[in-house]
């Protein structure tokens, strides 16, 4: 073999060795890149899982917040309603306590109108009665109209029955023994009535 041939062979062998070495380097780079890709994919999967967990937690927290706000709004309304009822109840007890005084005024007025006493006593009693009634009406008190009305157990309490001749008077209130009252639409004292039968 000639020197040229030998050199060519060595060159070829070196080139092949270089190619082999490049292939090994390339293979190692490829393996490193694949490892990096696998690592990045696992990180992406991990981050996606964390993201899903955080979204679920955020949705749960938002739902809890909305429920809490709704509960607070209901609580606020309920306490406001309870305060109004408390004020109403307090005034109801006070007004109930004044009803016997109102009854006495009505009786005194009726007796004075039937007697021959002075006009000053009649006017004074009427004035007291009208002022008291005006004040109580301004607080929501209303008289239950009963005479001639059909008997209603929601408003009336029957204390007696009275036979009547007219058919249209049957089942209706014939007389009122004690006046009934409502306070802001709620009955605080039933009207004691005589019912026609």
Exposed (0-12), middle (13-18) or buried (19+): which is 174, by Cβ within 10 Å? Answer: buried
Confidence tier at 20 by pLDDT (50, 70, 90): confident
Q: How many CB atoms lie within 10 A of CB 142?
A: 14
pTM strictly above 0.85: no
Does pLDDT of 16 surpass 70? yes
For the segment 60-72, what is each residue's pLDDT rounded down to a tens digit? 999 999 999 999 9
Half-sphere exposure of residue 92, counting CA atoms within 13 Å on the CB side? 15
Measured distance CA(57)–CA(54) in Å, rounded = 5
For the segment 159-171, what is each residue's pLDDT rounded down to a tens digit? 999 888 888 888 8
For the segment 98-129, what is each residue's pLDDT rounded down to a tens digit? 999 999 998 888 888 888 777 888 888 899 99
* CATH level 2 (architecture), domain 140-197: Roll (2.30)
Residues above pLDDT 90, as percent of the chain: 48
- In the block, tokens 């023994």 appear at 177
């Amino acid at each position: 073999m000639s020197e040229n041939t030998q050199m060519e062979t060595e060159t070829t062998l070196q080139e092949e060795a270089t190619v082999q070495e490049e292939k090994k380097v390339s293979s190692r780079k490829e393996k490193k890149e694949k490892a990096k890709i696998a690592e990045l994919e696992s990180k992406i999967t991990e981050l996606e899982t964390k993201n899903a967990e955080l979204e679920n937690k955020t949705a749960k927290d938002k739902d809890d917040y909305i429920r809490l706000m709704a509960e607070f709004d209901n609580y606020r309304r309920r306490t406001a309603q309870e305060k109004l009822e408390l004020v109403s109840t307090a005034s109801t007890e006070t007004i109930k306590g004044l009803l016997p005084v109102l009854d006495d005024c009505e009786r005194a007025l009726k007796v004075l109108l039937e007697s021959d006493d002075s006009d000053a006593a009649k006017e004074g009693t009427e004035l007291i009665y009208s002022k008291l009634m005006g004040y109580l009406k301004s607080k929501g008190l209303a008289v239950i109209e009963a005479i001639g009305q059909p008997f209603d157990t929601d408003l009336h309490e029957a204390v007696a029955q009275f036979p009547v001749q007219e058919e249209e008077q049957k089942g209706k209130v014939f007389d009122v023994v004690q006046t009934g009252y409502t306070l802001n639409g709620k009955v605080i004292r039933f009207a004691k009535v005589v019912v026609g039968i």
